[in-house]
Amino acid sequence: MKNLWSPWRSNYIESFKDKQSGGNCIFCEAVEKDIAEMSNLLIRKSDQTLVIMNLYPYNNGHLMIVPKRHIGSIEQITQEESHELMDEIILAEKVLQKVYSPQGFNIGANLGRAGGAGIEEHIHFHIVPRWNGDTNFMPAIGEVKVISQDLAETKKRLLGGYKEIAG
């Protein structure tokens, strides 16, 4: 078996060390943020969930669907939260399809540090648009992941997509 190193992932994980030890949670802080403020990554608020852009996206449009309630494990999710999380994942897929026309998606959760969670104390679900060939020589050889769109432009496009589809 060959190893493929992804050192850029450590930047993401390391960025949360101070937050975790200090008791602050970026997802809990996002509950109080204004979607219209372009300086944050918040895209949508529902009754029990948030939709937030990933600061370190794997691809353009990488979103996280997050329960507002600070919970760390999947068994703590209530039935109401579960339904809304799934509804928001479905809506996110529709919006991403409209805005970016991806050829596929990765949808899932990284549970626990060993499962790859960068923020393990507040469960969240990822939806990552994928295209044939979106993994190329840059991450494998150059240790660089190319994201071809600025986060502010991504937010503008996603907000427009949500407005068009969800009203």
List the catalytic residues: 124
Q: At what angle do helices 79-100 and 151-166 cross, to 10 degrees?
A: 110
CA distance 66 to 46: 10
The residue to which tokens 């450590």 are assigned? 10
CB 155 within 8 A of CB 41: yes
Beta carbons within 10 angstroms of residue 8's beta carbon? 12
CA distance 35 to 39: 9
